[in-house]
Structure 1
Amino acid sequence: MRKELGGIFSALMVAFNEKGGINERGTREIIRHNIDVMGVDGLYVGGSTGENFMLATEEKMRVFEIAVEEAKGKVKLIAQVGSLNLQEAIELGRYAKELGYDSLSAVTPFYYKFDFEEIKHYYNAITEATEMDMIVYSIPFLTGVNINIDQFAELFENKYIIGVKFTAGDFFLLERMRKSFPQHLLYAGFDEMMLSATVLGVDGAIGSTFNVNGVRAKKIFELAKEGRVDEAREIQHTTNDLIEGILDNGLYQTLKEILKDQGVDAGYTKQPMKRLSSEKIERARELSKKYIGN
């Protein structure tokens, strides 16, 4: 198992300007906030939280570059390269390798109802072309793709596939995977369930709310690993109060408003994501004051 890739990884947010272009200065501020203030162990770059699936290939590459430039080797970097366009995924993977990323990740191919053989070919093609470690990004509630334990076993026959970002609520499957694949990395993908996943033995977590709540996330993870579950549960309660407020107010928009309230130029979300009303902006600021502080 690549133990050095364990720990708490922020699913990196990207700042955009009002016209939808990358706000490079703001994105750098988000990266530094994650490293210097949240104290995360790594960054998961190019995922859903980075609004990746609305970006052009060149924009995705630029985000990869900015993360490398700003992280300066202080934390581990995972590049999410998954795409419905397999050639784009390969191109992004090769570029991330050139930039020195520690691992690739790729969302399961979605929209079209690909069968498992097609899904396996997709991962094998990316890893064969890049010769890079790969973390499968399993998020069934958005992709509609469910992979069972026998299919994960087939994927793991590929020596480059080292783990899974498990963004699902099927904790029976998670437990079975931990028992069956002790040498592979498992990451919790639902921030609100991180304690439960950590008790089941995940190696780390990758989450969007870690951009603003990374300190608590690390504490939950560390306490649970030490067996101090009662203490970790109290922090998870507070975390989930915050997450509940964020989800009710608008996930990505609210996270960016909280970052702004913390002095980070987090910019805007890309259209067609809508802007927050003045009332919701004020609610985001209230959440920031109550749960994050100044």
Structure 2
Amino acid sequence: MDFGRLITAMVTPFDNQLQIDWTQVGNIMDHLIEEQASDSLVISGTTGESPTLTEEEKLKLFEYAVTHSKGRAKIIAGTGSNDTAHSIHLSKEAEKRGVDALLLVAPYYNRPSQEGLYQHFKAIAESVRIPVMIYNVPGRTGVNIDAATTVRLSHIPNIVATKDCAGTDQLTEIVRDAAPGFLVYSGDDSAALPAMSVGAHGIVSVASHVVGNEMKQMINAFLQGNFAEAARLHGQLLPVFKGLFTFPSPAPVKAALNYKGLPVGGVRLPLIQATEEEGRYIASLFQ
């Protein structure tokens, strides 16, 4: 499966009581697909505040997203956790609800060995029929999925992609050695262009909530061989890429969306929403 070049890890909109605002879920999906050039959407990933969503909320989000997208974008369900058995259960339930693929984060906190990581992802992938994208984000999980382990996983038939935040050296090794057709995505907005320069297919993005069109222009310029224009756009977008991670995500991108008139509410504890000063800083990125 080709998920496209620009995938957005979508926020979960909340109302004033921090319950899911279902009207705004649809509105944000439409915004991302129709106005920000997203090819696929990750539902209930870290940016969607998966740690504080209940299983019932996640399953309702998957079902709603599939129905609302009407095939306009691929729907990728975030079903990974640090409990293999529960990840299998949630993945099976997501598959029943018609999602196109799964995003499986590396098990966090319990820090398994490389063999443990391999067996974890293998067990989940073999429990479903739909495609799987693994997600390596050592800064959050405390464990790196080594390039060799990702390459090994790439030979499991329905493990078709990785979202990797470990840097261009590791991405280069994966691109070089992975099974034919295996897709590599950067998980870091500011690394999108450097990653593509070493063979990555695209980006799983947070900034694409608000600068998706510009990011797609940068990607297309690179693909067309206009490297100077791609570099210019990357430089222009860099303050936004960095600014949206100056305090714990997804509070900054939610502040940006609220500022732009797309109400998505606040964030659930233990995250806290932007202060007035932080909100002014986020607004300054778009002035």
Give the TM-score category using the shorter length: over 0.9
Higher relative CO (CA 8 A, sep ≥ 6), structure 1 or 2?
1
Closer/same/farther in 2, CA of residues 17 and 113 from structure 1, 3 Å limit: same
1:176 match: 173
Distance 1:6 1:187 in 2: 10
Residue 191 (structure 1) shift: 0.3
Mapped contact 2:255–2:274 kept (Cα < 8 A):
no
Distance 2:245 2:124 in 1: 34
Residue 249 (structure 1) shift: 5.5
* Alignment-mate amino acid for residue 171 of structure 2: L
Distance 2:246 2:115 in 1: 38
Residue 79 (structure 1) shift: 1.3
Question: TM-score normalized by structure 2?
Answer: 0.93
Question: TM-score normalized by structure 1?
Answer: 0.91
2:259 match: 261
Mapped contact 1:7–1:205 kept (Cα < 8 A):
yes
* Alignment-mate amino acid for residue 79 of structure 1: A
Q: Note the residue ranges of structure 2 that are not aligned, 5 or more in a row.
A: none
* Alignment-mate amino acid for residue 155 of structure 1: L
Q: Note the residue ranges of structure 1 that are not aligned, 5 or more in a row.
A: none
1:201 match: 199
Residue 37 (structure 1) shift: 1.0
Distance 1:212 1:64 in 2: 23
Aligned length: 286
Residue 91 (structure 1) shift: 2.2
Query: What is the SS of the residue equivalent to 1:197?
Result: helix
Residue 246 (structure 1) shift: 2.8
Closer/same/farther in 2, CA of residues 138 and 287 from structure 1, 3 Å limit: same
Larger % of helix: which?
Answer: 1
Give the aligned CA root-mean-square deviation in angstroms: 1.7
Q: Could you list the per-position Cα deviations for residues 55-99 of structure 1 after superposition, in whole angstroms to 9, with x for gaps in the alignment?
A: 111111122122212211101121121012323312221122222
Distance 2:133 2:275 in 1: 37
Distance 1:204 1:177 in 2: 14
Q: Matched residues, percent identical? A: 27
Residue 250 (structure 1) shift: 5.2
Deviates more, 1:22-31 or 1:144-153: 144-153
Mapped contact 2:117–2:145 kept (Cα < 8 A):
no
Mapped contact 1:188–1:204 kept (Cα < 8 A):
yes
